[in-house]
Structure 1
Amino acid sequence: METPSTSHSSLTRKQMSGAQKRGLKKARLEKEAKLPKITSFFMKTSQGMSLEEDKVTQTAETATVSAICHGSSPVEQEQGEHATDMTTQQSIPTEQGEDIQTRGREGETREHAGKELNVDLISKTFPTDKELYSEPLSTDEKIFIISNGPCQPPGPFPQHGQSNRRFSKTYDSELSKSGLKLQRKWLCYSPTSDQAYCQPCWLFSQDREGGWVRGVRDGHNLKGKIEVHEGAVGHQECSTVLDHWRLNKTVSAEAEAAIRKEANFWRQVLDRIINVTLTLATSNLAFRGHREDVSSGGNHGNFLSIITLIAKYDPVLQELLNIPERQTKYLSLALQNELIDILSESVKEEIIKDANTAAFFSVIIDTTQDAGKTDQLSQVVRFVSVETNEKDQPVEIKIHETSLGFLVVEDQSASGFTETILNAMESNKLDLLKLRGQGYDGAATISGVYSGVQARIQALQPKATYVHCAAHNLNLVLNDAMSSIPEKRLKTNKQTNKQKTIKEVAELLMIDNCGLCISYPDIYTAYMLFLTLPVTVASSERSFSKLKLIKNYTRSSMSQERLSGLALLSIENERAKKLDIQKIIDNFAELKARKKPLN
């Protein structure tokens, strides 16, 4: 056992004397004095460096930046760094006359890549503002934008016109249900154009006409628009690509070519399927048959039968049908409903856009029962447009009576009809303040002076004049007149009516003498109002014939959305045939969660 004195002596350490400490300190100071000043490491060139050596050094640094920014493989980066090191081993004399070899690290080169490539932009307050760039963006510009982050100024932000709406800094983040604050790195704001935009979509989206690519300035429900865009598949794909670029994981040329080839194939498939859908819808033909499987026997229906027929002469559809079962083919009932909905909504958007562009509009309403004994309300909107030529000169006055589809009427009282009509106008974004006419038949529920539908709507919009259907009035007049006179054969002489119609008189002022419209604005307005007022409800009643063709005895179980969409495509078949199919495919890819790439 050790004694205390023995243990204490074993733990005692040998201490340095004062003279030894002073000697070590003196040696350290002398060594530090021989080192060059720290400022010499940050000098780009010195007085002893020639212009040729300066150019060589800058070229080497730029080569290193390019190798890093373009996402080279590890082997390529190592080779590039080795070549750069061999080039940049130039001697730079310092103030003490010593030589220091310049060798930039990868992280430092990446940090200064934007400055090397965009010297003029780095001095801007917001160098990644999209208004500072012109389309199309180069690879170097995309790298610079990604490396410098999104354009998210702190504010304050200007108001939009006379409204109090403005962009807010709170849009840049969102609180999760658990209370965590999540940053929206994709959302950007351009202080130059006062517009919000999506950085990933601006950099990588194929749809260059999208709202979030060009910019969104309308502050109405901007938060809702942001949330909808966040859930879009196209936005998520662009965000993934941006993250790959940011991490130097760009897709190889071969993989990108394969993705593009597959996307092109599915776009061609959808092009053919959409055209088949339009053909069947505008021809009032049924889609489905007894069998939904092409490989099985029996009646496949018109849709699959036409697809099979075209596949005999078309290699694209032939390849589609050769895809094994239980894989995506875009031939299902759900896809048919999606395409019918997108096509009908596209036609309806064009109609509503034209109606809202007009000065006034009128509504024409009538109801009937379908094959399933369901009360269907036919919506027709009437408006007037002045067609112009390439020189923006008026050439024709057109009166439009266009259908907006069918609605189910559950409450047949005056209040129920009124609520259905007003809800339809609100959902179709038709301005009630522009309503100038109501066209109905003579039913008491509709035409009642005190509590009818027309009276209730006039209480909300006094300028919405009620017009009793002229055809119904004429029928009543003829019946009364013929019942009060004895039966005899009437002989009349055919005479040419030389009187001009109101439309012809209006064209005399608005087309032939359009320069006088500014001198007679009240007459111009009177003509537009008179031509906007409905005359008959014949357009609504003509839509009933389409209803009987589409929803017949064998198709009585059709859903209301499918019925309304098919009816709209059939009635407005001229507009439907003029739709941009490629735009429809883009909407299909943007709004729906797709299983196959389309962009």
Structure 2
Amino acid sequence: MNRVYESGAAKKRKAKEEQKKIDKLPKITGFLKQDDITSKNDETPKGTADLQENVIQNESVDLNPSEQSELSVATQVLINHRTEEEAALRSTSEKIESYSTDIALWGEINEKLRLYWLQKNPGLCSNKDKDFSKSARIYQEGDKQKVRTLNKSLFQLKLQNNESRSRARETGSLENALTIQQKNEKNYWIQVLRRITDTIKFLASRGLAFRGENERFGSSQNGNYLGILELLSEYDPFLKEHINTYGNKGHGVTSYLSANICEEFIGLMGEKVLACIISELKKAKYYSFSVDSTPDIAHLDQLTFTVRYVTDQGPIERFLMFVPIEGHNAEYLTEVVVKFFKDNDIDINDCRGQSYDNASNMSGRYSGLQTRIREINKDKFDEFLEKAKSFTDICESESTSEPRNRRRSVKLTRFEGESEHTQFTGDEKLKIEIFYPIIDSLCSNLKTRKTAYETVNDNFKFFTALPNMTYEGIKECCEKLARKYDQEISAENLISECLHYKHYLRDTRKNEELFIPDLYLQLKKEFLTSTFPNIEISLRIFLTLMITNCAGERSFSRLKLIKSDHRSTMSQSRLNHLSLMSIESDLLKSIDFDELISNFAAKKSRKKVF
């Protein structure tokens, strides 16, 4: 079929009909409301007013020769006025600020100025609501002339519901729109991560397993982690919608519900708890530690670290971590302990006590771990070196040159023989070979512990008897304690403080039995630390000393619970993080993880699949 082309007359007739339809449409100026100009300074002559009306309407007009002449004169006046303003602007451009609120003084409009006013409200512009008729320009388009100028309506957009809003609002730029979108996405994932954090805290504090046989929602074998999230979603519409949208989508879809995100959060939360403990320890300054070892389910020896320090609420013991070891000799254990404190930026010179079991490699008198740590920190423990020197002096004073007598050996004759071996009954053999050695060892250890307790008691017990002590007694006890801790305590200042503290206790603790923990808490509660600094340090050192090594034994119970038969291949870092959150569950509940969640959501930006 051949194409039919319209003739030129038909096209002209069709164009005239369309133009008539357009002319019948209402003008856009009918929807705009013009403000009355009341200021005398803003009054313009008739010709200029006509120009303004024509500019506002932005329509093309046909002008006869007389009107053209009048318009040319008015336009020439405007151009001359504009030229004068430009000259004045050039003369004062050096005195004008870069971001003036006067539009006429903006000068060259660059990208920096545009970004500045996009972030500001146009209401700050001093001339936004003024008349801009003097900015009129006449443009020639063929045989027609158009007059355009700046109008205040250009600062606003007219919406369909007749609402006006600033076209230069801060949210109007593309960059800000993307920023708002990113912020909304971040807030969405923060809400998801908060629920994940609470679930991890619940499972870790109870030492429960996280994973199951699969990682699918709706499966009864998906483990405790996904199971608890499913339970929460039954009462949490947000989480339920999130699981329905992103759950079971597989790789490539961001959901933050995968095992990788869970493991990453376990590590971050464990590090946060450890950092909080170390921060408290450094703030307390003085501490004591306890180490002990036991094999785990994988037959790997784990060395547990427990520290004791004093906060404003009193003494507290915290578990730090398990360290795998490959040997049990004292030299190797010393290297492990020193390296542990160095890696965690803990000053070993602030250590004031140690606690071990009775193994010779731990508490051996001559070459055990305890003795080696004392050699590193020789000035901070008891008077080991002073006693050694005193023993040396005694040996030198008692040395003589008396002749040594050789013992005479006894030989059996022909008619003599060895006596028969004594025959023991079962009860006698039990007593001699088992019961008596145990009792001897027990008595020896009790005597050693008694000596240690008596030494500590002799150094600090005078604080509980201050109200009834004389000046000579206070001076003697203070000097003795200051000699032991010469770098922390000043003997002269301690004596002066004890004399004042004596009268303070008489007034506040009349006829009351005094205990060092109560005295320390009283100093903190009544803000007397700055008044009695040396007394506070002395009491803090006493409360820092380890009483038992039970904290290490309790950590082994958690070790057996967390690293069980079903989780024997657990990594060392995961074991430490879960053990720390389980043992220190009270601290875990008190820590605010909002900052961690926010940083995680900001750094772990993912691409969403739409």
Band of TM-score, shorter chain = 0.5 to 0.7
Helix, strand or coil at the partner of 1:383: strand
Once structures 1 and 2 are overlaid, which stretch shifts more, 314-323 or 400-409? 314-323
Q: 2:491 matched to which residue of 1?
A: none
Q: 2:373 matched to which residue of 1?
A: 457
Matched, 1:556 2:478: no
Q: 1:428 matched to which residue of 2?
A: 344
Helix, strand or coil at the partner of 2:320: strand
Q: Quote the Cα distance in structure 2 between the aligned partners of 1:529 and 1:452.
A: 24
Q: 1:273 matched to which residue of 2?
A: 196
Q: Which of 314, 327, 331 is residue 236 of structure 2 equivalent to?
A: 314
Matched, 1:325 2:268: no
Deviation at 1:368, TM superposition (A): 0.9
Q: Quote the Cα distance in structure 2 between the aligned partners of 1:259 and 1:505.
A: 54
Contact 1:57 1:88 survives alignment (8 Å): no
Q: Quote the Cα distance in structure 1 between the aligned partners of 2:377 and 2:217.
A: 55
The AA in structure 1 aligned to 2:92 is: K
Matched, 1:547 2:559: yes
Aligned runs of 1:134-145 on 2, under 5 Å? none
Aligned runs of 1:378-397 on 2, under 5 Å? 378-387=304-313
The AA in structure 2 aligned to 1:595 is: R
Matched, 1:69 2:115: yes
- Say if 1:251 and 1:333 are closer, same or farther in 2 by CA, change over 3 A: same
Q: 1:378-409: per-residue Cα shift (whole Å, max 9, x none)?
A: 1111111224xxxxxxxxxx111111121111
Higher relative contact order (CA 8 A, sep 6+): 2
Deviation at 1:507, TM superposition (A): 3.6
**Which is richer in helix?**
2
Q: 1:576 matched to which residue of 2?
A: 588
Helix, strand or coil at the partner of 1:404: strand
Q: Quote the Cα distance in structure 2 between the aligned partners of 1:519 and 1:476.
A: 51
Helix, strand or coil at the partner of 2:312: strand
- Say if 1:504 and 1:399 are closer, same or farther in 2 by CA, change over 3 A: closer
Aligned runs of 1:62-461 on 2, under 5 Å? 62=106, 68-70=114-116, 89=135, 250-252=175-177, 255-294=178-217, 297-322=219-244, 323=246, 324-326=249-251, 327-387=253-313, 398-461=314-377
Deviation at 1:536, TM superposition (A): 0.9
Helix, strand or coil at the partner of 2:341: helix
Q: Quote the Cα distance in structure 1 between the aligned partners of 2:179 and 2:101.
A: 35
Contact 1:71 1:249 survives alignment (8 Å): no
Deviation at 1:510, TM superposition (A): 3.0
* TM-score for the superposition, normalised by structure 2: 0.52
Matched, 1:503 2:547: no
Matched, 1:534 2:536: no
Runs of 4+ in 1 over 6 A off after TM superposition: 38-41, 475-479
The AA in structure 1 aligned to 2:349 is: L
- Say if 1:375 and 1:58 are closer, same or farther in 2 by CA, change over 3 A: same
Deviation at 1:41, TM superposition (A): 6.9
The AA in structure 1 aligned to 2:259 is: L
Q: Quote the Cα distance in structure 2 between the aligned partners of 1:285 and 1:412.
A: 31
The AA in structure 1 aligned to 2:222 is: H
Q: Which runs of 5+ in 2 are unaligned?
A: 1-82, 94-99, 123-128, 138-148, 150-167, 384-436, 445-510
Q: Quote the Cα distance in structure 2 between the aligned partners of 1:418 and 1:461.
A: 12
Q: 1:181-211: per-residue Cα shift (whole Å, max 9, x none)?
A: xxxxxxxxxxxxxxxxxxxxxxxxxxxxxxx
The AA in structure 1 aligned to 2:580 is: L
Q: 1:107-148: per-residue Cα shift (whole Å, max 9, x none)?
A: xxxxxxxxxxxxxxxxxxxxxxxxxxxxxxxxx9xx9xxxxx
**Rg comparison, structure with higher value:** 2
Q: Quote the Cα distance in structure 1 between the aligned partners of 2:332 and 2:550.
A: 23
User: For this pair of structures, how many residues does the alignment match?
Assistant: 362
- Say if 1:438 and 1:504 are closer, same or farther in 2 by CA, change over 3 A: closer
The AA in structure 1 aligned to 2:371 is: A
Q: Quote the Cα distance in structure 2 between the aligned partners of 1:333 and 1:570.
A: 20
Q: 1:126 matched to which residue of 2?
A: none
Q: 1:27-83: per-residue Cα shift (whole Å, max 9, x none)?
A: xxxxxxxx99x99773139xxxxxxxxxx993333596897125769xx9xxxxxx9
The AA in structure 2 aligned to 1:377 is: L
- Say if 1:260 and 1:435 are closer, same or farther in 2 by CA, change over 3 A: same
Contact 1:376 1:407 survives alignment (8 Å): yes
Report sequence identity in percent: 32
Q: 1:595 matched to which residue of 2?
A: 606
- Say if 1:431 and 1:504 are closer, same or farther in 2 by CA, change over 3 A: closer
* TM-score for the superposition, normalised by structure 1: 0.52
The AA in structure 2 aligned to 1:285 is: L
Q: Quote the Cα distance in structure 2 between the aligned partners of 1:258 and 1:519.
A: 56
Q: Quote the Cα distance in structure 2 between the aligned partners of 1:282 and 1:358.
A: 26
Q: Which of 46, 59, 69 is residue 103 of structure 2 equivalent to?
A: 59
Q: 1:314-338: per-residue Cα shift (whole Å, max 9, x none)?
A: 2222222222333111222221221
